[in-house]
Amino acid sequence: MNKIYNPTPDTWTSILERPTKTVNDIEQTVKEIFTAVQKDGDVAVAKYTTQFDGVYFENSEVTAVEIETAVASIPNDLKEAIALAKANIEAFHQAQKTSRVSVETAPGVQCWQEKRPIQKVGLYIPGGTAPLFSTVLMLAVPAKIAGCNEIVLCSPPDKNGNINPAILYAANLCGVTKIIKVGGIQAIAGMTFGTKVIPKVYKIFGPGNQYVTVAKQLATQFGVAIDMPAGPSELLVVADDTAVPAFVASDLLSQAEHGIDSQVILVATSKVLIDAVEKEIELQLEQLPRKAIAEKAIANSKLIYVENDKIALELIDEYGPEHFIVCVKDEDFYVNNIGNAGSVFIGNYTPESAGDYASGTNHTLPTNGYAKNYSGVNLDSFMKSMTFQKISATGIQNIGTAIELMAEAEGLQAHKNAVTLRLAEIEQRSKNIE
């Protein structure tokens, strides 16, 4: 890993740069595939699935038999682990439900807000070297709690044309309505435009590689919403002498093994800790089955020494990490003051992997600095807030003159007339009663 000591603020942008390709490197490929899928539908999807995944389907929808086979193949202890994780995720997201907000803003003017589910959502679940069945739980559970009618899941097939059984098991357990064996850009394009096999959805969720991230961003140009730009995984740990070096190293490696374009960073106020963590990384790396992947990610990563917590916090906020682990004596300083982070993990016994799987918080989080302006996935991500209002005759009399004056000042006479006519009718009715 790259060691950096006391970097000055003017160098932070360069040393914290993510190891990702620019949109310009990827965008042309994404646009070409989108155009083809929009024009040729399932034919184009099948073509790119053959090109990128090495398999061809007449129909890429997962069958009931495939789901039954997958369910039967999952060991009971894994089923129990998934059930525990699902229960905790349900508990945390169920607690996010809010009741109707209602207020009388003026006498006779009643305004309220209610939430409604997004009716059709698409879930993208990465496959490849790490089939993320845990992401199925993170997305399908809140979608179900929110009340989404249609939950479509796309995931890339393996070389034999199958989706990992654990993904199918989790999807079936969580009430996914349709599962499609399609991945990458073509999956996002399929959910954007709709094909005979892949339903068109209103919002797309889920992490993916840089191509999937750009594809999701392009989808927004065609009227489809997305959860966030979620690309390669990243983790930042802040630590001092109270941190356990072996724990810190294990957390850094837990994200490094995601992919070669992942990034992990340690910011520490102790040079002794940095040296100890570096040694632990070397030891633990040798034991990892995904050593080759983790090594490449580690090459993109940094060990940064700063003199105090204040400087550390400023640097961390500049980076805006997806995952942020706090292992310091004065943890409240970071917890109370951090402004930019997707999810925060506090203390020596709170590994990031707990949030990835079973603590209950959602692991679909903003990366690449988007934690500065995006939230991670939560129950509200699957819902829309709708406002309502009902105004009585008394109410329109109370606010009508203000509306007329403002409309006239903006030069919108029809807006003014919509109020003036009502006020006149109320006045006439009052005179008739007299």
317, 306 Cβ separation under 8 angstroms = no
Burial class from Cβ neighbours inside 10 Å (0-12, 13-18, 19+) for residue 381 reads buried
Cα 354-339-87 angle, rounded to 5 deg:
25
The closest alpha carbon to 74, from 212, 171, 195, belongs to 171
d(CA 59, CA 195): 11
The answer on whether 211 is annotated among ligand-binding residues is: no
156, 182 Cβ separation under 8 angstroms = yes
d(CA 186, CA 176): 20
269, 305 Cβ separation under 8 angstroms = yes
3-state SS of the chain: helix, strand, coil percent to 5?
A: 50, 15, 35
* Pairing, β 234-239 against β 225-226: unpaired
Burial class from Cβ neighbours inside 10 Å (0-12, 13-18, 19+) for residue 163 reads buried
Torsion of CA 92, 98, 99, 103, to 10 degrees: 160
The answer on whether 233 is annotated among ligand-binding residues is: yes
Phi, psi dihedrals of residue 117, rounded to the nearest 5°? -70, 150
Buried b vs exposed e over 192-216: b needs ≥16 C-beta within 10 Å? bbbbebbbbbbbbbbbbbbbbbbbb
- Which residues are the active-site residues? 322-323
Buried b vs exposed e over 301-334: b needs ≥16 C-beta within 10 Å? bbbbbbeebeebbebbbebbbbbbbbbbeebebb
d(CA 137, CA 178): 15
The answer on whether 300 is annotated among ligand-binding residues is: no
The answer on whether 275 is annotated among ligand-binding residues is: no
The answer on whether 356 is annotated among ligand-binding residues is: yes
The answer on whether 56 is annotated among ligand-binding residues is: no
The closest alpha carbon to 341, from 310, 363, 374, 309, belongs to 374
Residues flagged as binding site: 124, 186, 209, 233, 255, 258, 323, 356, 410, 415
Residues flagged as binding site for Zn(2+): 255, 258, 356, 415
Residues flagged as binding site for NAD(+): 124, 186, 209
Residues flagged as binding site for substrate: 233, 255, 258, 323, 356, 410, 415
